[in-house]
Each structure stands twice: as structure tokens, then as C-alpha cells.
């Protein structure tokens, strides 16, 4: 049997001893306040047993990891009609690029790049009475944790500087693929990105993707077919123009955020979340990637 605790302790030691911890995202000014020396890793095995090492109880900005959760909610509401509005192909581009959007008539390549998540936000704004409150309740419900909330200072900071997201949203709108007005959609998008959660809260939430749609309380949140599709999108699109590299080095579906978090999972086996705020040049956590490569190498567990 794999000794997860031993592996997580070794990973944390290696992370703490690594001198080059990457670069903290500063294009959202509020994120620049993060401490580069933080490192945490939390893992839930198939029985729901928690293993953790480092700073796993401290909340940080979830950012793009939340795109998987808005996608889940929208997929549940719209079913396969969703794929008429957003694709399922990797973009091979950075998360905030606009060129493909112009070439492909405002239909984003996938729901995990910014443009795709903006279309998903638009769907939730159309379908829900109070999107901010209802999305938060959805996440709290899966995690079974009412202490999860938005960090309004991060949302406001991004609203002041989110020029590329405004550009993407207006471009999508110009092609008729955005129903609501740009301000309303982006207000919801910036808030969803600002969710503040710890590694332990995230692993409790994302556990459903490793556990056939069921949370730790044994409630079914998504069907097996929905889980298959969302995990496939995480595998091919979760790391933007580094998706190939992540598959090559780690071998798991997953998703990153510019707050320095990464979630990855092996269906029917485990879900893991790492946090280290320093990023590599592709916008993914440098030590998180290193940690997950070590986890799958030392445990011998990956989808391959």
C-alpha cells in the first residue's frame, strides 16, 4: 500500500528546500501580497482519509481552479447544449489570449481558458436569480463548509485591472455569444475567481471528480458521464499552453490558478491539492508542478 503521508512529507521538505520558488502573479495587484514561502499539500484517498503537510489550512485565492466548479454548475443546468456555446479542445495558448476567439467567431476553445469561463459565467447569470450567492452555496454544499467565501478585495482589484477580460468579453459579445451585459458577467466572473479556500477545503470539494460525482457526505453532485467529460477537459485544457507538459510530467487531470493552487486527481483513487504562490512562466505554480510530479513518480500512481 502507498504511504501517502511519507510521500507528502518528503515533497514538502523538497519544496521548502527549493530556492527558486517562481514568481508571484502581480497583474491582479491584490495577489502580489501572497507569501512566496508558503507551501501546502492535501490529499484525500479513495476512502476519504485526509493526508496533509505544510500550510494546508490557510486560505488563498482560488482563481482559475474555480472554472471547473462554474463549468460543473452550468453543465448540470444546460446539459450538452453547453457545447454549442463553448468548445472542448485545448487552445495551446496562454489563458488570457484573444486571437483564437477572433478567428473562431467568439466561441471559446474550452471552458477553462478565461474566454470560456466568461461564457460559462454568462450562462449562470442568465440561469440563476442571484448567481454570486447561488454559486457560493453550490461550492459550500459540495465542501460541506459554510466558512468558504469570496475575497471582495481580490475581486475589486481584478475589476480595476482586468483589461484583457473586458477585451475578451466585448469580443465575445460582438459575435453574439454573450447574452448579458459585460459589466454584469464580469462582476460575477471576478467574484468567482476571488473565492478564498484552503488546500483542505479544496480537496474536500474536488473529491467529487475522483469519487464518481459523490462528495464526502455521499451526496451525488454530478453523474458519472458528467464527471468523465469534466475530467477529460481538465486533462487536455487544465494548464493552457502547459497542458502537454503537465500530462507528460504528472499524468493526471487537473487545474491550476494564478493564486498558486493546483488540483489533480486519479479517478477512484485520490484527489490532491497543492499551494505555492510562486508561478512559472506559463502561470502555473512552479513548486506545485514539482510536487505533483514527485507524487505520481514516487507512488507509481497516474492515469497512465
Residues within the annotated binding site for substrate? 64, 114, 158, 165, 189, 240, 258
Identify which range of 76-84, 119-127, 217-225, 254-262 contacts ligand DON by CB under 6 A: 254-262
Cell of 188: 460575477
Q: Which is nearer to ligand DON, 165 or 180 (CB)?
A: 165
Q: How many residues are present in the chain?
A: 304
What does each C-alpha distance from 48 to 15, 33, 39 come to in angstroms?
A: 25, 33, 22
User: Which residues have C-beta within 8 Å of that of residue 192, sequence separation ≥ 6?
Assistant: 66, 67, 69, 70, 117, 121, 135
CB of 125 within 8 A of CB of 184? yes
Q: How far is the CB of 285 from ligand DON (least distance, A)?
A: 8
Q: Which is nearer to ligand DON, 7 or 112 (CB)?
A: 112
Q: How far is the CB of 2 from ligand DON (least distance, A)?
A: 28
Binding mask 53-92 toward ligand DON (x if CB under 6 A, else -) reads ----------xx----------------------------
Burial class (CB in 10 A: 0-12, 13-18, 19+), 29: middle
Q: Is 193 in the site for ligand DON (CB under 6 A)?
A: yes
Q: Which is nearer to ligand DON, 74 or 215 (CB)?
A: 74
Binding mask 108-147 toward ligand DON (x if CB under 6 A, else -) reads ------x---------------------------------
Q: With contacts defined by CB under 6 A, how many residues of the chain interact with ligand DON?
A: 13
Q: Which is nearer to ligand DON, 231 or 284 (CB)?
A: 284
Q: How far is the CB of 164 from ligand DON (least distance, A)?
A: 7
Cell 484583457 belongs to which residue?
164
Q: Which is nearer to ligand DON, 106 or 213 (CB)?
A: 106
Q: How far is the CB of 77 from ligand DON (least distance, A)?
A: 22
Q: Is 96 in the site for ligand DON (CB under 6 A)?
A: yes
Burial class (CB in 10 A: 0-12, 13-18, 19+), 120: buried
What is the footprint of ligand DON within residues 268-297 (CB under 6 A)?
Answer: 283-284
Which is nearest to 41 in space by CA: 215, 200, 147? 200
Q: Is 169 in the site for ligand DON (CB under 6 A)?
A: no
In whole angstroms, what is the distance from residue 127 CA to residue 133 CA?
A: 13
Q: Which is nearer to ligand DON, 59 or 114 (CB)?
A: 114
Give the nearest residue (CB) to ligand DON. Answer: 64
Q: Which is nearer to ligand DON, 70 or 165 (CB)?
A: 165
Q: Residues interacting with ligand DON, by CB under 6 A?
A: 63-64, 95-96, 114, 158, 165, 193, 256-258, 283-284
Amino acid at each position: 500500500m502507498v504511504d501517502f503521508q511519507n510521500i507528502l512529507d518528503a515533497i514538502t521538505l523538497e519544496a521548502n528546500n527549493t530556492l527558486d520558488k517562481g514568481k508571484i502573479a502581480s497583474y491582479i495587484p491584490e495577489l502580489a501580497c501572497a507569501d512566496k514561502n508558503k507551501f501546502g499539500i492535501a490529499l484525500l484517498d479513495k476512502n476519504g482519509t485526509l493526508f496533509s503537510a505544510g500550510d494546508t489550512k490557510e486560505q488563498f485565492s482560488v482563481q482559475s481552479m474555480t472554472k471547473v466548479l462554474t463549468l460543473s454548475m452550468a453543465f448540470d443546468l444546460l446539459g450538452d447544449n453547453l457545447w454549442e456555446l463553448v468548445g472542448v479542445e485545448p487552445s495551446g495558448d496562454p489563458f488570457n489570449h484573444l486571437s483564437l476567439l477572433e478567428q473562431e467567431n467568439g466561441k471559446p476553445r474550452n471552458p477553462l481558458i478565461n474566454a470560456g469561463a466568461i461564457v460559462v459565467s454568462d450562462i449562470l447569470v442568465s440561469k440563476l436569480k442571484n448567481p454570486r450567492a447561488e454559486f457560493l452555496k453550490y461550492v459550500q454544499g459540495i465542501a460541506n463548509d459554510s466558512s468558504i467565501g469570496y475575497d471582495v478585495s481580490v475581486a475589486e482589484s481584478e475589476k480595476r485591472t482586468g483589461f484583457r477580460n473586458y477585451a475578451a468579453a466585448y469580443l465575445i459579445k460582438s459575435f453574439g455569444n454573450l447574452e448579458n451585459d459585460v459589466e454584469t458577467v464580469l462582476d460575477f466572473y471576478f467574484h468567482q475567481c476571488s473565492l478564498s479556500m484552503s488546500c483542505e477545503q479544496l480537496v474536500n470539494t474536488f473529491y467529487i471528480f475522483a469519487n464518481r460525482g459523490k462528495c464526502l457526505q455521499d451526496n451525488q453532485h454530478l453523474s458519472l458521464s458528467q464527471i468523465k467529460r469534466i475530467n477529460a477537459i481538465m486533462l487536455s485544457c487544465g494548464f493552457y499552453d502547459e497542458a502537454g507538459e503537465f500530462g507528460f510530467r504528472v499524468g493526471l487531470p487537473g487545474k491550476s490558478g494564478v493564486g498558486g493552487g493546483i488540483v489533480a486527481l486519479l479517478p477512484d483513487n485520490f484527489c490532491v491539492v497543492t499551494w505555492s504562490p510562486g508561478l512559472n512562466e506559463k502561470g502555473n505554480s512552479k513548486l506545485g508542478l514539482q510536487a505533483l510530479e514527485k507524487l505520481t513518480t514516487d507512488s507509481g500512481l497516474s492515469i497512465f
